[in-house]
Amino acid sequence: MKSYRIAVVGATGAVGQEILRTLERREFPVSRLVPLASARSAGKKVAFAGREIPVEELRDEAFAGIDYALFSAGAARSRQFADACKKAGAVMIDNSSAFRMRDDVPLVVPEINAGDLAKHRGIIAVPNCSAIILGVPLWPLHRAAHLERIVVSTYQSASGAGAQAMAELEAQTRAFAAGTPLERSVFPHQIAFNVFSHNTAIADNGYNEEENKVIEETRKIFHEPALPIVATCIRVPVLRAHSESIVIETRKPLSPEEAREILSRAPGVKLVDDAAANHFPMPIEASGQHDVLVGRIRRDLSRTDGRGLALFVAGDQLLKGAAWNAVQILEHLTS
Amino acid sequence: MKSYRIAVVGATGAVGQEILRTLERREFPVSRLVPLASARSAGKKVAFAGREIPVEELRDEAFAGIDYALFSAGAARSRQFADACKKAGAVMIDNSSAFRMRDDVPLVVPEINAGDLAKHRGIIAVPNCSAIILGVPLWPLHRAAHLERIVVSTYQSASGAGAQAMAELEAQTRAFAAGTPLERSVFPHQIAFNVFSHNTAIADNGYNEEENKVIEETRKIFHEPALPIVATCIRVPVLRAHSESIVIETRKPLSPEEAREILSRAPGVKLVDDAAANHFPMPIEASGQHDVLVGRIRRDLSRTDGRGLALFVAGDQLLKGAAWNAVQILEHLTS
């Protein structure tokens, strides 16, 4: 069996670590693994396939001989090293927002638009985590009944902002338990016992960066450049996995029973919709899972024409929202 | 100045305690305060106006000589003692769901429908906390542009389920910090670091009790029995104050600037909408405030006709969502 030389850029970060674990779990054939990070982290070791591998400094020369480079080190690093990666002949699978909306860069969720991979010219982008978790359960409903509008409100975990943000929530929690002041440095507001509007800048249209990503990226992934979407992105004091409250309008009527039947056999989705037990998607249950959990599927009570549904979903934004989606792309490219 | 004999039923509970504090803060003229609770709590003392007042057992005879009885002891107790209250000539101001949808019971948020108070026949109901926090900021927009649809997703704090639920979130938080197992007895699911669909039964229409209350009670308060509303009610690990992500459709176009101007002078509302500072409504800032905080006011990007807005609100569900709304009603009835 063929095996591949893989670089993981940002190997010590929250998503980089999940990429290493996912490559192991999937038994992806790696002939050589090169963990890359900033000079600060160089020399640290990461665990992979039973070995301890020293982290190398992220430099142009680091991509020599690499087949695929999985980037999770932020948009600035992706922009800085994209050329070096290309010159070395390595294909870039990028978790950052740097190239997502570029026409020559496929933006891919394999369950939705794996076909776009064929058009890549050296860079493939992994969408924003909230867009992926929205798209996976909505795509099969779109195919069945054609979505005409999406209204989504998110419940996003701290780890979406990285390992330090998760540590900040834990530290504030410990401070609360100890009765000491809650300190913050990562988030602009207290995250423990609070919720707040996503900590990205507000654009001229009144929407923050995260909301605009959800809207624009979903349209690109779905090949529906005018799909009407309104998004509200909110941080909640959850360590891991994002949840989303969704209301959709469809061109064709779609009953909750039909939607449930479609989702029960859709790829990447797991139905958790037990009204009798009051058991629905929750972030603590979505954590560590590849699938997006979907439930609370019900008629939109504000409509009488049967062309609306409400649902609630939860997905691990470090896995399906980032690392697992990147490794899925890698598996598609090498299969 | 006239003063009044007031009974507080459920005086040791989360809302009952807030009623006592609110009567003090408002310097409401109380000639006699009778704190009532179950036999289990009788003999305990509650603080009021600088005194310690013994809690009396909730019995039919307890209402003798009372002018107004403020009930916050659950729907079963309200049903059980409504007749005794009436026979004693006391007016019942009820925080429970027992009588809210009865035709002969006004359901009142004073900023919206204080006029309905005149029609009372001995019982006035305080709406569900999420319905109040939704209604206060939407009412002035409804008057200006006529709401044709409301889509709301809630971020509800633990204290909405009472003092024990708040204690459970704190206990799970301490257990997390200590590295011991997280135990639960109040909520069906872990509340610390988790979000879950509201812990009330799912009705035949697919909506839980809380969602159906938000929908039906908002229609009654607004005198709009057919107003289309779709609600998703979610618990979040916040100690106090509920938040809500809202999308509205209006009959007349309404710009974010117009909405901001209307809300800046609306009663019971405080505009918190500072995009430059990324400062919007948050439950930790709404806690302890009478006003509902409102912000993130922006155009609904999924519409092109200017007839839609998105917004985010946060309100103290123990105060405006319960105790303060009840005391406001009391003040209206006695003014």
Question: What string of DSSP letters covers A215-228?
Answer: HHHHHHHHT-TT--
Contacts of B150 in chain A (CB under 8 A): 302
Question: What does the alpha-carbon distance between residue A119 and residue A84 come to, in Å, rounded to a whole number?
Answer: 21
Q: SS3 of A185, please? A: coil
With beta carbons less than 8 A apart as the criterion, state whether B283 and B241 touch.
yes
Interface test with A, best of B196, B205, B247, B258 (most A CBs within 10 A): B196
Residue type, B273: D
Question: What does the alpha-carbon distance between residue B108 and residue B100 come to, in Å, rounded to a whole number?
Answer: 9
CA distances from A212 to A227, A239, B265 (A): 13, 23, 30
With beta carbons less than 8 A apart as the criterion, state whether B68 and B91 touch.
yes
ipTM (interface pTM): 0.96
Kindly report, residue by residue over A219-261, the tens digit of the pLDDT.
Answer: 999 999 999 999 999 999 999 999 999 999 999 999 999 999 9
Angle (deg, nearest 10), helices A129-145 and A209-222: 40
Question: What does the alpha-carbon distance between residue B294 and residue A219 come to, in Å, rounded to a whole number?
Answer: 29
Does A280 touch chain B if contact means CB atoms closer than 8 Å? yes
- What's chain A's average pLDDT? 97
Whether residue B160 is predicted with pLDDT greater than 90 in this model: the reply is no
Joined together, the tokens standing for residue A284 give: 């603590």
Kindly report, residue by residue over A132-141, the tens digit of the pLDDT.
Answer: 999 999 999 9
- What's chain B's average pLDDT? 97
Whether residue B1 is predicted with pLDDT greater than 80 in this model: the reply is no
Q: CA B77, B79, B84, B85 torsion: positive or negative?
A: positive
With beta carbons less than 8 A apart as the criterion, state whether B285 and B171 touch.
no
Q: Say whether B302 and A230 touch across the interface (CB within 8 A).
A: yes
Joined together, the tokens standing for residue A164 give: 């330090």
pLDDT at A321: 96
pLDDT at B163: 85
At CA B114, angle to CA B282 and CA B245, rounded to 5?
A: 25
pLDDT at A161: 84
Q: What is the pTM of this model?
A: 0.97
Does B181 touch chain A if contact means CB atoms closer than 8 Å? no
Question: What does the alpha-carbon distance between residue A179 and residue A323 come to, in Å, rounded to a whole number?
Answer: 37
Question: What does the alpha-carbon distance between residue B284 and residue B277 come to, in Å, rounded to a whole number?
Answer: 17
| CB neighbours of residue A216 within 10 Å | 18
CB interface of B with A, residues 83-102, below 8 Å: none
Residue whose C-alpha is closest to residue B145's, from B229, B247, B251: B251
List CB contacts of A204: < 8 A, sequence separation 6 or more. none
